[in-house]
Structure 1
Amino acid sequence: MIDLSEDFWTNKYKSQKTGWDLGEISTPLKAYFDQLANKNLKILIPGAGNSYEAEYLFQQGFKNVYIVDISREPLINFKERVINFPEEQLIHKNYFDLEGRFDLIIEQTFFCAINPEKRATYVQKTLDLLKNNGKLVGLLFDAKLNSDHPPFGGNKASYLELFKPYFEIETMDKCYNSLGNRQGMELFIKLKKYLKM
């Protein structure tokens, strides 16, 4: 399996081999953000890359947005683009080493970028980082894609098996408003963490 280290991702940014980068906020996430009323939500975007989602949220008055990325490069890019964004909310760290509690974790091309054997660990880490009744919201690829390098694909059945023991599946449906060549390849998810008994 390919080594998806900090150096791997930093080299991708430095060589501008960022085919996953839409260059704008994804339509499904914009639609979701536009109906959020509580601007005090503590929101985390892991593996955020250039994070047009965080930029949009910040511009809409959400000031409690945190970005984490294993590579420093996209965080530098983001800070140059969104100069008023609080520096302490730009976190250069591996998601799996992160601590804290969040109301909302946004999934946008992070899950598909980690080695598939780490997906169960991703679920547990996401649970740890979410407050009770916190939500994981975003997009997952619903396509085969690659087996030896990211993006790694998947399907609804495998995702249900992974998430259902720990989350109430509020939504896991085909996206109707995906951008460009992602049409027909994405699931929109809204998963609520089960309360601990």
Structure 2
Amino acid sequence: MGFMKKNDLNSSYWENRYKENDTGWDIGHISLPLKVYFDQLQDKSVKILVPGSGNSHEIEYLWKLGFKHIYAADIAKTPLTNLKTRLKDFPENQLLHTDFFKISDTFDVIIEQTFFCALHPSFRKAYVEQMTKLLKSKGKLVGLLFNFPLSETGPPFGGNKAEYSNLFRKDFNIKVLEPSINSIKQRLGNELFFIFEKKT
């Protein structure tokens, strides 16, 4: 894929990717690092957002575990429809067909899974600002970030541990930011698992 300008990565772009089944980021199931994290969560009343949720394997897993206050957000409609097809009883009002930067609710936990890397790098500071608005005090941003050199070609766009630390540490306590030890084979060595806690 060639150089992408930030305005190219719009709803039409992503909708076409789903309609053409050009979804190489979708591994078809929940990723093991997130499954392990979810399995240790005790409080099923927490309010969780998955932005750029795609086909929402994380949402499906959480729903089946008994988490009911979970929200899938995507700029493309097709993946949200796909989730509703799989989970007939999933509430319509928890399917957010919207731009991430227009969400105004607040959450206890936000899950990052191939969303940050899909945004043009020029949006990274805005991503952090929006996360601080969306998370409640001491709320957690948890997930995976790609660990390979930042590129002008993408998505995905890369990054590294030092860049991420510099980007987030002003507003978040960095609890964990380490190479993922249980990534899928294709991503092993190229992912960082992280837990960032909002400072205030």
Fold-level similarity (TM above 0.5): yes
Distance 1:144 1:21 in 2: 21
- Corresponding residue of 1:17: 22
Kindly provide the amino acid, as one letter, of the partner of residue 137 in structure 2. Answer: N
- Corresponding residue of 1:168: 173
- Give the number of equivalent residue pairs: 195
Does the aligned pair in 2 maintain the 1:113–1:150 contact within 8 Å?
yes
Structure 2 unaligned blocks of 5 or more: none
- Corresponding residue of 2:163: 158
Distance 2:12 2:140 in 1: 31
Kindly provide the amino acid, as one letter, of the partner of residue 191 in structure 2. Answer: E
Structure 1 position 49, deviation (Å): 0.1
Task: State yes or no: 1:50 paired with 2:55.
Answer: yes
Structure 1 unaligned blocks of 5 or more: none
Structure 1 position 40, deviation (Å): 0.2
RMSD of Structure 2 on Structure 1 (CA): 0.8
1:117-146 deviations in whole A, cap 9, x for unaligned?
100000000000000000000000011264
Q: Taking structure 1 as the reference length, what is the TM-score of the superposition? A: 0.97
Q: Taking structure 2 as the reference length, what is the TM-score of the superposition? A: 0.96
- Corresponding residue of 1:132: 137
- Corresponding residue of 2:77: 72
Distance 1:167 1:5 in 2: 28
Kindly provide the amino acid, as one letter, of the partner of residue 153 in structure 1. Answer: G
SS at structure 2 position matched to 1:41: coil
Distance 1:49 1:145 in 2: 23
Distance 1:116 1:10 in 2: 20
Distance 1:172 1:95 in 2: 23
Does the aligned pair in 2 maintain the 1:135–1:193 contact within 8 Å?
yes
**Runs in 1 of length 4+ with deviation above 6 angstroms?**
none
Distance 2:188 2:149 in 1: 14
Structure 1 position 84, deviation (Å): 1.2
- Corresponding residue of 2:185: 180
Does the aligned pair in 2 maintain the 1:145–1:151 contact within 8 Å?
no
Identity, in percent, stands at 52
Distance 2:23 2:9 in 1: 14
